[in-house]
Amino acid sequence: MNHSLASTLFVSDLDGTLLRKDATLSRHTIQTLHQLIEEGMAFTYATARSIQSAKRVTEGLRLRLPVITRNGSVFADQETEAILEKAIFSKEDVSLLKSLLPELPHCGFVSSYIGDEMTKTYCDGELSVGLQEYVADHADDHRMQVAADPNALWGEQSGYVTMIDDYEKLAPTYARVRSYSNWECVFQKDTYGEEYWLEICPKNSTKAKALLKLKERLGFEKLVVFGDSVNDVSMFEIADEAYAVSNAMDELKQIATAVIGNNEEDAVANALQKFRDAAVTNTLQNIRNKANKI
């Protein structure tokens, strides 16, 4: 691994990749990232989480670049939690999704925006086990709101749908919504449990498209990514180099540049350190070569 750090954008997924199995960052990872960023490495993350959730699980991590959240539909500031840019469903898309998702009130919620403030609205009643656990885990989250009826799930600016249930119950829903090109959808097993998550976001909202936009805006020449799951496939396909952690799904490993250690072993931080060491070695060698020509 030998790159010019100044021209390379490094991006990692969070859950199952940068985060450990308990959804935390090790002190080693935080210290390594801070040192590398201080030395000039351009690093950020891309996640399905909201900025609030992502900041909570990356406590102690200080980043200089915008972070990509909600699977590419939102750019945010890690420090302030400010939403820098967001995508929302059109009125036509919302109308269609209402007709396609009769099971939504039972197992899901809709993330909407009032200005840059996000709400997550669900219907009270008989909920799937996965959604019950999610609601309980977010009992102190002021963004969680209860809708009086299914139509009230949707706000004026809805930008994300999350459904949590068993595979057998959500697979037909996934097949139904993925047949439309109006939006992007990801269906995958939860990193920390047995439930499956179906997430739907506006058209052109993928990690890949968000990263290409960020890369172009900031003027980077190369993109190096790290991941473990289904929603990382798109960014693996467009990256110059893509590294799967050893605990990643087999399909991702097959398209990876290489497989590194697992997320319990600070694999991403250690790989980034190797990038830095290789760049330093290359610089020193260039200096020696120039000196020998004098």
294 residues of the chain, pLDDT tens digit each: 344 778 999 999 999 999 999 999 999 999 999 999 999 999 999 999 999 999 999 999 999 999 999 999 999 999 999 999 999 999 999 999 999 999 999 999 999 999 888 999 999 889 999 999 999 999 999 999 999 899 999 999 999 999 999 999 999 999 999 999 999 999 999 999 999 999 999 999 999 999 999 999 999 999 999 999 999 999 999 999 999 999 999 999 999 999 999 999 999 999 999 999 888 666 445 544 555 555
Do 117 and 171 lie in one domain? The reply is: yes
pTM for the full predicted model? 0.89
**CATH of residue 58:** 3.40.50.1000
Is 198 in the same domain as 121? yes
Number of domains in the chain: 2
Residues 186 and 241 in one domain: no
CATH of the domain at 178: 3.30.1240.10
24 and 56 fall within a common domain:
yes
Token pair, residue 118, equals 């996000």
Same domain flag for 73 and 145: no
**Residue 22 token pair:** 């308990």
Domain match, 48 and 108 both: no
Q: Which of 159, 187, 202 is the last residue of a domain?
A: 202
Residues 131 and 37 in one domain: no
Inter-residue contact 271 to 245 (CB < 8 Å): no
Residue owning tokens 């999704």: 97
| Residue-range definition of the domain harbouring residue 34 | 5-86+206-292
Place of tokens 């020193």: 284
Does 227 lie in the same domain as 81?
yes
- Whole-number Å distance between alpha carbons of 3 and 1: 7
